Structures are given as structure tokens and as C-alpha cells.
Amino acid sequence: MTAPAEFGAALKNAQTTISAFAETRLSGGDTLHAAMRYAIAGGKMLRGFLVLESARLHGVSQEAALNAALAIECVHAYSLVHDDLPCMDDDDLRRGQPTVHRKWDEAMAVLAGDSLQGFAFELLAEPVVGEHALDLVRSLAKAAGKDGMVSGQMLDIAAESAQQPLDLDQITRLQQRKTGCLIEWSAMAGAVLAGDNTEPLQRYARALGLAFQIADDILDVEGDIAKVGKALRKDANAGKATFVSLLGLDAAKSRADDLVQDAAAALHPYGGDAETLKQAAHFVIARDS
């Protein structure tokens, strides 16, 4: 899909800016730094984009926003590196390239992921982030840890081990933690940095995160591996419950459409200034990768 012009330009700018900042901050010449850079490179950087865009809405400095944007991309990249390991999902491809443990080895993948996670909090603790840095650190630790992303991954593994498919409420709770928590943190970051009300962006992000996961499940069924850049149909082959398996393909698409409308409605307090975020929500469910 071709992204709407305004959103497409904003996303491309976010990708370029965050990637350049990552290259600067992770410029070491050893294998660990190379693996960290490799893990970050090539992604959509939607989470980083959400940080930058929410920061723009709240008048936050580019310097503070960029530290937070790279921080969330580091946490996201670490989660993917570990998720791809043989002890987890055992994937050979990520973003159309060999996964970190395939390019190097499992030990380097573990170390690169660990280092990316630590570096994220280092970025958030730097003076440039400002007086609300501790709020960001605390909320990211929660979003990424035992009450958030890691908890969601644990629920996913437990469900697969039990060989008993989850119901709709359970899969929704799982994905709100596994995928949604980091998206929610990203969208709220600008408001947190400014010390402003986070509720509109939280409602936006909750709808967006769920729509994103439903779109992923749809791509797993309808996607082209050359565009998606990773193995497809793995969930179906493993008998795992997804939004598509539980709702059916057409109903899953309809549910994603409804969530996009919910996300757009949540942005009403920002008026036309939030148009790019509205376009992002529409893009999330229409993407082909």
C-alpha cells in the first residue's frame, strides 16, 4: 500500500532521523555494536514515529523526543532479537534479512538484545530528556516487563505449550501486553515529556495497538513473504489462536476498521494537528509488510 502523503513523509523522516541517531550513538567498531545496529536497522520504526509525532503535538524539543524515540526502537529491537531465538519462535528471517542469531550466533543475539534493552534506559536517563525522564523510565520498565510485553510473551508460550487455543478475550489480553504496551508507551511519550494529559493518546494507542495486531494476523494469512520479510503461516501451522482464526478473515478486517475509527475519534482534542496520526492508524491496517 502507498501511505498517505503526509504520513508517508513523516514516517520516512522518522526512519531517517532515528536511524542516523542510532548510527551515531552505536558507532563502536566491535561485534556487539554491529549486532545492535543490525537489529535496529530496516524496520518501519512506527513506535519511534509515534514518539516524535506525539512530541510534536506537545511542543517537546527534538532532542528529548529523539532520545525517547531511539529508546523505544531499542526495546522493540531487543524483543525481536530474543523472540527469534530457537528457544522462542525459532525464526530465520526478520525484515527480509537473516535474524541476529543466524548472522552471528545465539550468544551474540542474547548479548545484543540485553545491550539494546540497557541502552534504552540509558537514553531516557540523559539530561536532555528533561524533568519528566523518571516518568518515562518507570512507564517503559512497566510496559516492557512483567506487566507488559514480557508478560504477553509468557502467556503466548504458555498457551502454545498447553496446546489449547485461547479464546477471544484471552488473545486480546495477550496481544495488548505483547504488542500494545510498547505502542501505548510510544504514543503517550510526548504528553509525558510535556507533563500534559495522556488520556487522548492512550485511548488512541490502545485502539491502534489492537488494530496493528489484527493486521499482523491478517498478513500472516494473506501476506507475501517477499514483502513481509519473515516466515508466514507459522501460527496457523502450529494451531495457535489468532484474531483471524477466532473471528474469521472478514470479521477480523471489520474489527480492525472499527478500531481505526476509534483511534481517530480519540484524537479529536488535537483537531487538525493530529491528521498525521489519523493517517498512521489507517496505514496500520492496510500495510503489506
**Rounded CA gap, 154 and 44, in Å?**
25
> Could you tell me if 72 and 182 are in contact, meaning their C-beta atoms sit under 8 angstroms apart?
yes
* Number of Cβ within a 10 Å radius of residue 159: 17
pLDDT at 239: 66
Give me the amino acid identity at 65.
A
pLDDT at 46: 97
Buried b (16+ CB within 10 A) or exposed e, 33-69: ebbbbbbbeebebbbbbbbbbbbbbbebeeebbbbbb
CA-based torsion, 35, 36, 41, 43: positive or negative: positive
Give how far Cα 218 sits from Cα of 48, 155, 284, Å: 23, 21, 12
**Rounded CA gap, 83 and 195, in Å?**
34
Gyration radius of the chain's alpha carbons: 18
Q: At what angle do helices 46-57 and 199-222 cross, to 10 degrees?
A: 160
Q: Which residues of the chain have pLDDT under 50?
A: 1
Hunting for cell 501476506 — which residue is that? 223
Hunting for cell 503526509 — which residue is that? 6
Nearest CA to 286 out of 3, 9, 6 is that of 3
* Number of Cβ within a 10 Å radius of residue 97: 15
CA torsion angle 108 109 110 115 (round to 10): 80
pLDDT at 1: 46
pLDDT at 235: 65
CA-based torsion, 48, 53, 57, 60: positive or negative: positive
Cα end-to-end distance, the chain, whole Å: 9
Which grid cell sits at 125? 536517563
DSSP category for residue 268: G
**Rounded CA gap, 289 and 277, in Å?**
19
Q: Which residues, listed in sequence order, are joined to residue 93 by a DSSP beta bridge? A: 98
**Rounded CA gap, 85 and 286, in Å?**
29
**Rounded CA gap, 230 and 106, in Å?**
18
pTM of the model: 0.93
What SS3 state is found at 95?
coil
